Homo-oligomer: A and B are copies of this chain.
């Protein structure tokens, strides 16, 4: 006899709410229905809804504001600049990054790029190359790759400093998490020119894959950074 497994109620409801979020049932600007309303909609107690929402808050997908309601996390200018930005000063404070676009074009994706983005090999990608300044010094050379099919006409837009805000507002693609891999590289002539350092200066290269609500890889971003005054900071728990 096979053993049956039923997920706890709050897990089922968490997934139902999550699915509703992905389907765009609720607007980004209004609060979700209140906990008591959701409780009667799903015919469970308020405590169970609460636990389901707790999980989504812990995942950074929703946030609560006492007295106002529960809202969908949006990437807005202030937080987005820092939430996915791990470079800090040695004392732990974070500089405000500024961006200068160098080019934005479309091209066929290489095999490893397409596989990282989960699209068919050879699909057309949009490539954005930009230079980022910290405290007015060029510090990061950033190559951003996304599928042209997922982001039609992205290359024809004005690109803001915080791209994830644009992805959400214009394409309804919400970045929820990212994975980064850091390696040490040697600056080649091209890179060193942009970053105003000597050729062969050691740099860190950060390879980031950003994922959306469906946990699909959406963006591949490769950042080559000068370190020294700034460090790549990470907490372990």
Contact = CB atoms under 8 A, between A and B. Distances in A.
Interface of A: 59-60, 83-84, 86, 88, 90, 92, 176-186, 200, 202-204, 207-208, 225, 227-228, 231-237
A202 B200 CA distance: 9
Q: State the number of copies, please.
A: 2
Nearest to A89: B181
Contact of A185 (B92, B182, B202, B233): B202
16 contacts: A88-B181, A92-B179, A177-B236, A177-B237, A180-B236, A181-B231, A181-B233, A182-B182, A182-B204, A182-B227, A182-B234, A183-B204, A183-B231, A184-B184, A202-B203, A204-B204
Tell me if A's interface is mostly helix, strand, loop or mixed. Answer: strand
A232 B88 CA distance: 17
B232 A182 contact: yes
Contact of A180 (B179, B207, B234): B234
